[in-house]
Every structure is written in structure tokens, then in C-alpha cells.
Amino acid sequence: MKLTRRQQQIYDYLREHAGEFAHPPTYDELCAHLGLSSRGSLHKHIQALVEAGVVEPMEGRAGIRLSEWGREEGIPHLGAIAAGRPIEALPQPEFLPVPDYLLSDRPCYVLTVKGDSMVDAGIMDGDLVVIEERDTARNGEIVVALINDEEATLKRLLNNDDGSVTLIPENATMQRMVYPAAAVRIQGVLVSLLRRY
């Protein structure tokens, strides 16, 4: 998907000003903003963008516009998870591009880690964790667990023989906790981790 310079410039403009247009801009409007005087010329560029797959045309037959980037590509970043509180959802999920080798085959989402409850496992405050959506987990996996339908936490899971469940914080200063199986609902399993410095 190689774009020429002008195409890239137009694409950048579209992304930049996506929010400014209440509704998708018409070709004429775009021409005005871009300093073009011919819709035909613009159309050629748009066509190239469509072929490159970075833009989608408004198929609606009406007096039409071009639509821009409807593709929510990437993995949804749903919010933050802090031990002892519900997941803090973002008002609107952002979509983060995540390379394949950090994903599993099944649907995934991303959370920001708040707190230090897993530092000994190398999971620090502020890290991004990729979670595979799953309602069961094996022993020893690190899971997003919902306790009593209230608090969500990231902990290592241990299924006990007696049916109860132990959640282990990987932090020497914290206590492991045991719950009846019914009180704990698995919401996902840790797949990978991203950290920016």
C-alpha cells in the first residue's frame, strides 16, 4: 500500500480533521480545503486511497461523500484494571495496533494496569496487558477475575481441590485470597504485555 506524497498528504488531512466535519465532507469541500479546483483531480487521489484500503467510499447512493477510516483496526483498549475496583472503562474504547505474535487466536482486549499487585511477575503500574477473552483458565495462569460481580483484579489463578479458588497477587507484601468458586468469574487470561518507557 504505497501512497504518493500527495495521497499521503490528503490522507493525513482526512485523519487530522476527521472530527471537524460534522458529516463526511464533500469533494468540493475537500477541494477547497486542499487548494484544488477540480473535483476530478481529487477523485483520482481518493480512488487511490480506496484501493490502498485506507479509506472507504460512502456507498450510500445519495448526494455522496467519502467516508474516512471506519476501520477499527487493532485491539480495543477498554480501560484500566486496579486491584479491588471494577474495571475503569474508557468512555470510548481506543483501538491499539498490536502485532500478531502478541495475540492469541481468540478475541482479545487491552487493559492498563493500575497498582503494584503483580510487580513480582514483572507487571508494573501503567503497563498495558493484552487479555484473551475467556471464562475459564488453567492453574497458574494470570487472569482478570471478577469477584462478587464487583471488583476486578489481575491475579494468578489457583483452582483448589475443594472447589474453591485462590487468587495470588505476585507481590510479597500482599496476601493471597481464597474464594468459593461461585464468587469468582474469569473474564480473561493474560496473553502478553506492552510497556512504554
Beta strands across the sheet bearing 151-159: 142-147, 151-159, 165-168, 177-179
Residue 155 designated active-site: yes
- Tell which one of 13, 56, 57, 127 touches its own copies (CB under 8 A): 127
- Footprint of DNA on 10-49 (CB under 7 A): 26-28, 35-41, 43-48
Q: What's the min distance (Å) between Cβ of 99 and its own copies? A: 4
Q: Are 107 and 139 in contact (CB under 8 A)?
A: no
Q: How remote is the C-alpha of 130 from its chain's centroid?
A: 9
Dihedral sign of CA atoms 132, 138, 143, 148 in order? positive
| Radius of gyration of the chain measured on its C-alpha atoms | 23
Q: What's the min distance (Å) between Cβ of 36 and DNA? A: 4
- Tell which one of 19, 22, 138, 149 touches its own copies (CB under 8 A): 22
d(CA 141, CA 121): 11
96 binds its own copies (CB under 8 A): yes
* Binding-site partner at residue 100 among DNA, its own copies, none, CB < 5 to 8 Å by type: its own copies
Buried b (16+ CB within 10 A) or exposed e, 15-54: eeeeeeeeebbebeebbeebebeeeeebeebbebbeeeeb
Q: What's the min distance (Å) between Cβ of 42 and DNA? A: 7
d(CA 157, CA 143): 6
6 binds DNA (CB under 7 A): yes
Residue 117 designated active-site: yes
Between vectors from CA 92 to CA 89 and to CA 95, what angle results, nearest 5°? 100
* Binding-site partner at residue 148 among DNA, its own copies, none, CB < 5 to 8 Å by type: none
4 binds its own copies (CB under 8 A): yes
The span of 47-55, 83-91, 93-101, 156-164 binding its own copies (CB under 8 A) equals 93-101
138 binds its own copies (CB under 8 A): no
Annotated catalytic residue within 67, 104, 117, 164: 117
85 binds DNA (CB under 7 A): no
Residues in contact with DNA by CB under 7 A are: 4-7, 26-28, 35-41, 43-48, 57-58, 60-66
Catalytic center residues:
117, 155
